[in-house]
């Protein structure tokens, strides 16, 4: 169908755009086929028949979780640790992001494009490394201090938040900013009074989304020994106590549900038209008050001491690690291992995103809330959303260990584990995109006698293709970092190599592997951005 916007574009430009889209589509098909082949799907048997019994015991334990009061008390205490890490890590990330946004905004740099590119490039390093990697590095500097969990979330999230905040500030009208600059105000003051009020809604909405993500990151850090529900989950899984595993999973799901509901309420309130009456919005005021109270409680609960960051031991360890890691190793054997594991990492991320995108498209219609739906449809939708919540509540390494019951070791279990986890996230995002899409084409087809499936296929899917592919490309950028997490716990990819080098305290090799991870993440970011531009 030709839209008004399409008719406004010259035929030559439309042809060039269509050719770019076909080129990107063909590239995606070739890359997916190569990734599936690299994961071993076409090279022989991938099933492990001997693990089916253990998988059955794991699955049936979901119906009888451990409800012993003593264990429930342990889980409750672990949940408090997870919440404290998430609140402080996410809160500090927002502070770092707000400060960093002023440094990487296009308006701050004006026409000095080289300075802007250099500032954005600096953020590629902290956001290119997964929070679990930061946790392992910080443990070697700070030891088992609570600051490890907080900073491991704050550093990469702060870099991501700075980029997003800067983009939001660049999108708002700049008339007020330019007027203040012309009146002699500094760049910071002009941004504070000329840009911030217009971007406040988007900034607040994204801030609460980041706090939701911080809960899942705090769980991940528990898997590498930082405490909390992730640590308890790892202990129960290692001892094959499946009932305890499921109790912990349900606790994770409850935390994620609370974060999702709270964040969703705030984002809806921000998106709603402003109230004509005077005064503050009670929902937003209450939400901000709760966050402030949680920050104060978390500081008390974790007993953080700023002195730990500048102690003599921390300075000595930082100096030792930095000097030992420079210069990075250039051994041929290491570079060959880096190249091989980087290819595996790329294959894992592609398979994960393809699996997640296909699953999200299949479940999107049910995951979306449908106004006026009957009780059966509402119950089915609630069940699908609950399943998606549990999929994203459980960290990818745990899904990899579960899949190793029925799959042979290799890249495929790690890729499918990431796919399951990413499906939980992408399914929710695509469901929300369906809720926000125009329903009139579907309703017109239904009124004309089309079936529900036909109305969905012809009335909804074409309009959702662009947004869904854009979301999938964004999740690919995230998945390339999550593959490192899966690898750190032995499920394949470059994370395996990084874990081995850190365990051997081979710091020059660690520096080389970290550099490769940053370059790989940056390359995927660039490719994904180019692909999104071709879809516009």
Entry pTM = 0.81
Q: Is 9 domain-assigned?
A: no
Res 73 pLDDT > 90: yes
Q: What's residue 256's pLDDT?
A: 81
Residue 354 belongs to domain spanning: 19-52+331-535
Residues 419 and 286 in one domain: no
Q: What's residue 535's pLDDT?
A: 64
Q: How far is CA 376 from the centre of its chain?
A: 32
Confidence of residue 347 (pLDDT cuts 50, 70, 90): confident
Q: What is the mean pLDDT of the segment spanning 41-65? A: 79
Res 284 pLDDT > 70: yes
Q: Is 127 domain-assigned?
A: yes
Q: What is the mean pLDDT of the segment spanning 396-410? A: 80
Residues 248 and 345 in one domain: no
Domain count, the chain: 2
Range with the lowest mean pLDDT among 300-309, 413-422, 506-515, 520-529? 520-529
Q: Is 223 domain-assigned?
A: yes
Q: What percent of the chain has pLDDT over 70?
A: 81
Q: Is 325 domain-assigned?
A: no
Residues 359 and 450 in one domain: yes
CATH (domain of 498): 1.10.3720.10
Q: Is 238 domain-assigned?
A: yes
Q: How far apart are CA 94 and CA 88, in angstroms?
A: 10
Res 346 pLDDT > 80: yes
Q: What's residue 276's pLDDT?
A: 55
Q: What's residue 2's pLDDT?
A: 46
Beta bridge pairs of residue 407: 47
Residues 307 and 349 in one domain: no
Q: How far is CA 415 from the centre of its chain?
A: 16
Residues 447 and 516 in one domain: yes
Which of 86-100, 111-125, 166-180, 522-536 holds the top average pLDDT?
A: 86-100
Res 90 pLDDT > 80: yes
Q: What's residue 4's pLDDT?
A: 43
Residues 147 and 169 in one domain: yes
Are 402 and 246 in contact, with CB atoms under 8 Å apart? no
Q: How far apart are CA 51 and CA 117, in angstroms?
A: 51
Q: What value does the mean pLDDT of the chain take?
A: 79
Last-in-domain residue among 319, 350, 375: 319
Are 161 and 206 in contact, with CB atoms under 8 Å apart? yes
Q: Is 228 domain-assigned?
A: yes
Res 533 pLDDT > 80: no
Q: What's residue 1's pLDDT?
A: 42
Residues 284 and 424 in one domain: no
Residues 287 and 215 in one domain: yes
Q: H helices then E strands: how many in the chain?
A: 24, 0
CA neighbor of 502 nearest in space, from 494, 151, 343, 217: 494
Res 161 pLDDT > 90: no
Res 3 pLDDT > 50: no
Residue with tokens 């009146």: 183
Range with the lowest mean pLDDT among 275-289, 316-330, 444-458? 275-289
Residues 232 and 366 in one domain: no
Q: Give one DSSP letter per residue of 242-306, joined into a string.
A: HHHHHHHHHHHHHHHHHHHHHHHHHHHHHHSPPPSSSS--HHHHHHHHHHHHHHHHHHHHHT--G
CB proximity list for 351: less than 8 A, separation 6 or greater: 32, 35, 36, 39, 412, 415, 416, 418, 419
Q: Is 2 domain-assigned?
A: no
Q: Is 4 domain-assigned?
A: no
CA neighbor of 357 nearest in space, from 261, 425, 255, 306: 425
CB proximity list for 246: less than 8 A, separation 6 or greater: 61, 62, 65, 66
Q: What is the mean pLDDT of the segment spanning 232-257? A: 87
Q: What's residue 490's pLDDT?
A: 66
């Amino acid at each position: 169908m030709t839209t008004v916007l399409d008719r406004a574009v010259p035929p030559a430009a439309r042809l060039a755009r269509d050719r770019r889209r076909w080129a990107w589509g063909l590239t995606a098909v070739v890359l997916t086929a190569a990734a599936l082949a690299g994961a071993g799907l076409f090279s022989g048997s991938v099933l492990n028949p001997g693990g089916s019994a253990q998988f059955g015991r794991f699955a049936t334990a979901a119906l009888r979780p451990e409800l012993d009061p003593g264990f429930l008390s342990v889980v409750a205490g672990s949940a408090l640790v997870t919440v404290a890490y998430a609140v402080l890590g996410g809160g500090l990330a927002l502070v770092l992001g707000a400060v960093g946004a002023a440094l990487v905004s296009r308006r701050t740099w004006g026409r000095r494009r080289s300075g802007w590119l250099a500032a954005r490039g600096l953020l590629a390093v902290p956001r290119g490394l997964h929070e679990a990697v930061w946790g392992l590095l910080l443990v070697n500097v700070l030891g088992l201090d609570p600051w490890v969990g907080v900073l491991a979330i704050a550093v990469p999230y702060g870099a991501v938040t700075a980029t997003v905040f800067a983009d939001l500030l660049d999108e708002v009208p700049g008339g007020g900013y330019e007027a203040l600059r012309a009146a002699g105000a500094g760049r910071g003051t002009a941004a504070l009074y000329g840009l911030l009020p217009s971007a406040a809604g988007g900034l607040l909405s994204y801030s609460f989304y980041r706090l939701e993500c911080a809960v899942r990151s705090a769980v991940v850090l528990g898997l590498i020994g930082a405490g909390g529900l992730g640590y308890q989950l790892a202990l129960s899984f290692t001892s094959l106590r499946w009932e305890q595993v499921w109790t912990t999973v349900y606790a994770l799901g409850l935390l994620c549900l609370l974060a999702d509901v709270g964040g969703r309420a705030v984002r809806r309130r921000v998106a709603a038209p402003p109230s004509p009456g005077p005064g503050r919005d009670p929902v937003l005021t209450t939400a901000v008050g709760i966050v402030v109270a949680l920050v104060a409680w978390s500081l008390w609960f974790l007993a953080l001491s700023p002195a730990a960051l500048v102690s003599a031991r921390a300075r000595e360890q930082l100096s030792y690690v930095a000097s030992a890691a420079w210069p990075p190793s250039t051994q041929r054997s290491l570079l060959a291992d880096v190249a091989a594991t980087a290819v595996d990492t790329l294959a894992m991320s592609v398979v994960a995103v393809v699996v997640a995108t296909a699953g999200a498209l299949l479940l999107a219609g049910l995951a979306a809330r449908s106004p006026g739906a009957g009780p059966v449809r509402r119950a089915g939708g609630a069940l699908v959303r609950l399943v998606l919540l549990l999929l994203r509540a459980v960290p990818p390494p745990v899904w990899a260990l579960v899949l190793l019951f029925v799959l042979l070791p290799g890249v495929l279990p790690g890729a499918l584990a990431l796919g399951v986890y990413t499906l939980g996230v992408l399914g929710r995002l695509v469901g929300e995109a369906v809720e926000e899409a125009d329903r009139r084409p579907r309703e017109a087809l239904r009124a004309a006698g089309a079936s529900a499936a036909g109305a969905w296929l012809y009335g909804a899917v074409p309009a959702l293709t662009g947004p869904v592919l854009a979301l999938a490309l964004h999740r690919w950028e995230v998945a390339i970092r999550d593959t490192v997490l899966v690898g750190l716990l032995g499920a394949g990819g470059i994370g395996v190599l990084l874990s081995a080098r850190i365990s051997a305290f081979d710091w020059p090799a660690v520096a080389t592997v970290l550099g490769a991870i940053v370059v790989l993440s940056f390359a995927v970011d660039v490719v994904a951005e180019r692909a999104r531009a071709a879809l516009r």
